[in-house]
A and B are shown apart, each in its own frame.
Chain A
Amino acid sequence: MSYSFDYVNNLINVSLDQTTVQSQDLYSSIVEEESSERGIVFPKIATATGLDRLSTSTQTGITCNISNLWQIKFQPGLYTATISSGNITGGVDENPIAYTSGVQVIRIESASATVVTVVGGLTDDQNDKLNIINNMAKLIPASLSK
C-alpha cells in the first residue's frame, strides 16, 4: 500500500491500485512523511490513538485523526473503496475523505474498536509428546497401518 502527499491541495493520495485503507498502515505512512526531510517543515498531518492493551490478546482499536487541513483521496474510477481496521476521523470540515468521482467509500467504523490477536499452539511438552507418537507411528509397517 502506498500513499503520496500533495502539499498543494493537502491531500493524501491513495495509489490507484489500492482500494482498501487500513488505519494503522495509513498512520504509519503519515508518520514516515512527517519525519522526512520534506515533511518536518510542516505541521503534523495526523495523530493516532489506540492499541491500548485490554488483555493479552485484545487491544483497543486505532483511531487516526487527520488534521483539519488534510483529506484522504482515492484515485478516480468505478470501484468501492474500504477504510477498515480502525477509525479515521478529522479532515477538512470533519470529513477525512475527499470526494472522488465514481468511488464509493465504505468506512467500517466502531465506537469501541478492538484488535484481537490470536495466540495458541502446543506447549514444548505437548510438542515433544506429539513428536514421540509420530515417530512411533513410523515404526508400524505400512501393511498394518492400513
Chain B
Amino acid sequence: MTIATDFTIDTVNSRITHTSGTTVYSVNALYSYLENLFAGVAYMQYKPPMSASTPTSYTMINNWFIDETSLQYLSGGGLSTLGWDNSSSFYAGAGILLLQFGSTYTSAVSNDISKIVVQGANTGTLLAYDNTNYRWWVRPITGTITTGATTITSGTGAGTTTLVSTGESLFSNLYTLGSPLQANTQLYISQGTNSLINKYWSTGHVDLVLPVKRSGSLLNSGQVTVYAREYGNTYNYFTIDLSASGRNPVPISTSTDSSISDNAATVAAFTTVPTLTYGAVSKNLNNGNGSKSYDLTIDCNGLSVLKTYEWLQYQTTRGQTANTYTNGTQGQLYLGLTGYTPQPTAPFGTFAGGKFFCAQGIWLQNMATSDIQNYQLTADDGTTQTPPNIQKITVSSIVSGDQVLVARAVSSGSTTINYAQYTLTSANNAANANTVVVTGFISSDEPFAGTLRIKNSANTYDRYSYTSWSNSTFYLSSNLTNSYANSTMFVPLIDAAASNTSISNSLIQSNNINVVIRVRNYATGSSNSIQPYESSGIVTSTGLSVSATRTVDTIAV
C-alpha cells in the first residue's frame, strides 16, 4: 500500500481523508505526496492543500479539510489550518462549522459524508463526524447553521445541535523518547481532568498528531499529559504544552519497581485495604517538631507500609478509572495532592530501602507495628518528618503477680535508682491536683504513660499513674493524695504487678538509658516466693528486653 491508496483526495469538497491501510505516514510524506500530486496535470486546476513552514510544521490551506480520524495515520509533524474560520470575512462561507449535538442525536454513517446538512433554510456539506462525541464538521452552503434540529438530506445522521462554532484548528505532533521504557508499556494521554484521549496507538514510545485546538478553542489550554503506569514498574508522566504546533518531544521512562513483591491480582484481592481521608488535619508525630498540617490521612489499617504502597500504586495504575481513593480524579490520572509538586514515579509516595516516603501533605498512620519507623512524611510546610524511635522495654520470664520495676539507674551498670530524676515545683502539686508539675522540661524519652514515684515525708515513694505528659506536666489518672511541693520524683519505665508472663512499656528512645531491673514476688507458703531478681541494663536504640531469673525462695513462708 502507498500513501496514494491510503489517503483519498476529494476535490469536490476539498477534503483529504484516510480511507484504507494501517501504515502511519509522516506529515512530510503526506505533504510531499500532495505537492507532487497537485503539480501534475490532473490536479493543476485545484489549489494545493498544504504548505510547509518547517520540515515538521505544516498548514492546511485553501480551505482544504482533514478529519481528526485521519490524523491517526500521521506522525512526525504538526498541522495547523488556515481558512477554517467561517467567522472571518475573508473565509466566510468557505470555512468549517463544528456542530455539537446534545442528547438528541442519531449517528451519522459513512454514506452521509458529502451530503447536504439541513437546518431550516441553512445548509452545508458534511465533511466529517464523530459519533462518540456527537460532532459534525460542516462546510456552509447557504446561510449559517446554528442551534436546532438538523438533518441530512437523504442521509441517516440527525439531531439537535446545542453549539455551533467555527475557527482555526491545530494538530500538533507529540513524540515520546527516553530509556528505558519497560516492555509492554502502554502510554496513555489525558487532555484535561478525567479526559482521556482515545488510545489508537500501540505499546512503547509513540509519535502522534493530536488535536490541540478545535474550531478556534484550545483544548485544555493546549496541554496534554502523557502517562506511563504499568503496575510493577515505576510510574512516570509528563505534561507538555502543544499549543506552539510543530513537533514536541516528551521524555518519559520507567523501570522495574523492585520494591513491589505482590502482583496486581494479589493486591486487587487484598481483604484489608487502607482508608484514605482527604482534608486538612493537624498531627503531631511526637518527634519533637510539634503539630504539623497535612491534607490527606492514610490509615494503613494494620497493613505493612509495603502493602500499603503496593495497594496505592495499584489504585493509580493504567486502567483504574475509579476515583474512590483519588479525590475525584480517575486513579490512572491522579498525580497527587493539589498544590504540591507531584512525584512522577508514585503519586502517593515512593518506596525504597524498606521505607515508604510519603508524598508531601500525606499523614500515614496505623501501620503494622513492625513498620512504625519505616516511613517518612513531608508536612504541608515542606518539612521532613521522621518518626521517633519508639522502642519497647520488656521484662519476660515472669509470672502473674510478680512485682516488676524498671527504673533509671544513676550510672551505667549500677543497680541504684536515680531517685531524684525530677524536682517538683513549689506550687501546682498540692493535694487533689490531677497533674504533677516538675521544674524544667520532662525528658523526651519518658514513657507515653506509666507511673510516677514521688518522695513523701516517710522517705518512701508514693505511686501515681499518669496517662500522658507534655512540657513540664504529667497528667494523672487520679488526684494527688498529698502535697508534694519541692519533692523529688522519678519516673519508672515499668512499675507494675505482672498479669502475664511478660510486661512492657514504650518510649521514644533518643539516647541510651541506664536502668535497673527488679522482679520480686512474695506469696505465703513454702516455696511460693522468689528471691529478688535485680540486674542493670541499657535501653538502646533497639529497646531493651530482659529475661528475668526467678529463683524460688525456700526460706520465706
Measured CB to CB, the closest approach of chain B to A89, in angstroms, equals 14
User: In the complex, A48 Cα to B530 Cα: how many Å?
Assistant: 12
B403 x A8 contact (CB < 8 A): no
Q: Is A27 close to B, CB under 8 A?
A: yes
Q: Mark A11-27, 1 if CB is under 8 A from B, else 0.
A: 00000000000001001
User: In the complex, A39 Cα to B453 Cα: how many Å?
Assistant: 12
B459 x A8 contact (CB < 8 A): yes
Q: Is B175 close to A, CB under 8 A?
A: no
Residue of A nearest to B453 (CB): A41
Contact of B529 among A24, A35, A39, A41 (CB under 8 A): A35
Q: Is B521 close to A, CB under 8 A?
A: yes
Known: A7-B460, A31-B522, A44-B532. A37 touches B556 (CB 8 A): no
B532 x A34 contact (CB < 8 A): yes
Q: Is B458 close to A, CB under 8 A?
A: yes
Q: List CB contacts (< 8 Å) of A56-93 with chain B.
A: 62
Q: Is B518 close to A, CB under 8 A?
A: yes
Q: Is A94 close to B, CB under 8 A?
A: no
Q: Mark A21-55, 1 if CB is under 8 A from B, else 0.
A: 00010011001101111111101100011110000
Q: List CB contacts (< 8 Å) of B493-534 with chain A.
A: 495, 497, 518, 520-522, 524, 529, 532, 534
Interface size class of A (residues with CB under 8 A): 20 to 34
User: In the complex, A37 Cα to B522 Cα: how many Å?
Assistant: 11
Q: Is B417 close to A, CB under 8 A?
A: yes
Q: Is B463 close to A, CB under 8 A?
A: yes
B520 x A35 contact (CB < 8 A): yes
A35 x B555 contact (CB < 8 A): no
Q: Is B554 close to A, CB under 8 A?
A: yes
Contacts of A38 in B (CB 8 A): 460-461, 463
A62 x B453 contact (CB < 8 A): no
B557 x A41 contact (CB < 8 A): no
Known: A34-B520, A35-B520. A24 touches B463 (CB 8 A): no
Known: A8-B458, A27-B555, A31-B556. A37 touches B521 (CB 8 A): no
Measured CB to CB, the closest approach of chain B to A51, in angstroms, equals 6
B520 x A37 contact (CB < 8 A): no
Contact of B522 among A24, A32, A43, A48 (CB under 8 A): A32
Q: Mark A108-130, 1 if CB is under 8 A from B, else 0.
A: 00000000000000000000000
Q: List CB contacts (< 8 Å) of B383-423 with chain A.
A: 403, 405, 407, 415-417, 419
A35 x B405 contact (CB < 8 A): no
Contacts of B520 in A (CB 8 A): 31, 34-35, 39-40
User: In the complex, A28 Cα to B532 Cα: how many Å?
Assistant: 13
User: In the complex, A27 Cα to B461 Cα: how many Å?
Assistant: 23
Known: A31-B522, A31-B529. A7 touches B459 (CB 8 A): yes
Q: Is B553 close to A, CB under 8 A?
A: yes
Q: List CB contacts (< 8 Å) of B446-464 with chain A.
A: 453, 458-461, 463
B555 x A48 contact (CB < 8 A): yes
Known: A31-B529, A35-B520. A51 touches B554 (CB 8 A): yes
Contacts of A35 in B (CB 8 A): 403, 520-522, 529, 532
Known: A28-B556, A31-B522, A51-B555. A37 touches B459 (CB 8 A): no
Q: List CB contacts (< 8 Å) of B281-313 with chain A.
A: none
Measured CB to CB, the closest approach of chain B to A133, in angstroms, equals 37
User: In the complex, A27 Cα to B460 Cα: how many Å?
Assistant: 20
Known: A27-B555, A35-B529, A48-B555. A40 touches B405 (CB 8 A): yes
Contacts of B415 in A (CB 8 A): 43
User: In the complex, A49 Cα to B532 Cα: how many Å?
Assistant: 14
Known: A7-B458, A31-B522. A41 touches B405 (CB 8 A): yes
Measured CB to CB, the closest approach of chain B to A70, in angstroms, equals 13
User: In the complex, A95 Cα to B417 Cα: how many Å?
Assistant: 26
Contact of A34 among B453, B522, B555 (CB under 8 A): B522
A24 x B417 contact (CB < 8 A): no
Contacts of A43 in B (CB 8 A): 415-416, 534
Measured CB to CB, the closest approach of chain A to B530, in angstroms, equals 8
Known: A31-B522, A37-B403, A40-B405. A62 touches B463 (CB 8 A): no
Residue of A nearest to B405 (CB): A40
A40 x B403 contact (CB < 8 A): yes
Measured CB to CB, the closest approach of chain A to B487, in angstroms, equals 14
B555 x A50 contact (CB < 8 A): yes
Measured CB to CB, the closest approach of chain B to A39, in angstroms, equals 8
Known: A31-B529, A37-B403. A62 touches B460 (CB 8 A): no
Residue of B nearest to A39 (CB): B520
A41 x B417 contact (CB < 8 A): yes
Contact of A37 among B463, B532, B557 (CB under 8 A): B463
Residue of B403, B453, B555 with highest tally of chain A CB at under 10 A: B555
Residue of B nearest to A52 (CB): B554
Known: A8-B459, A34-B522. A41 touches B555 (CB 8 A): no
Contacts of B555 in A (CB 8 A): 24, 27-28, 48-51, 62
Q: Which 9 A-B pairs have the closest CB atoms?
A: A35-B520, A35-B522, A31-B556, A32-B522, A7-B459, A8-B459, A28-B556, A48-B555, A31-B522
Additional A-B contact list (19), CB under 8 Å, known A31-B532, A34-B532 = A8-B458, A24-B556, A27-B555, A28-B522, A28-B556, A28-B557, A31-B522, A31-B529, A31-B556, A32-B522, A35-B532, A36-B522, A37-B403, A38-B460, A41-B405, A41-B407, A41-B417, A43-B416, A48-B553
Q: Which residues of A are in contact with B by a Cβ distance under 8 Å?
A: 7-8, 24, 27-28, 31-32, 34-41, 43-44, 48-51, 62
Q: List 21 A-B contacts (CB under 8 A).
A: A7-B458, A8-B458, A27-B556, A28-B524, A28-B557, A31-B522, A31-B553, A32-B522, A34-B532, A36-B522, A37-B497, A38-B460, A41-B405, A41-B407, A41-B417, A41-B419, A41-B461, A43-B415, A48-B555, A49-B555, A51-B555
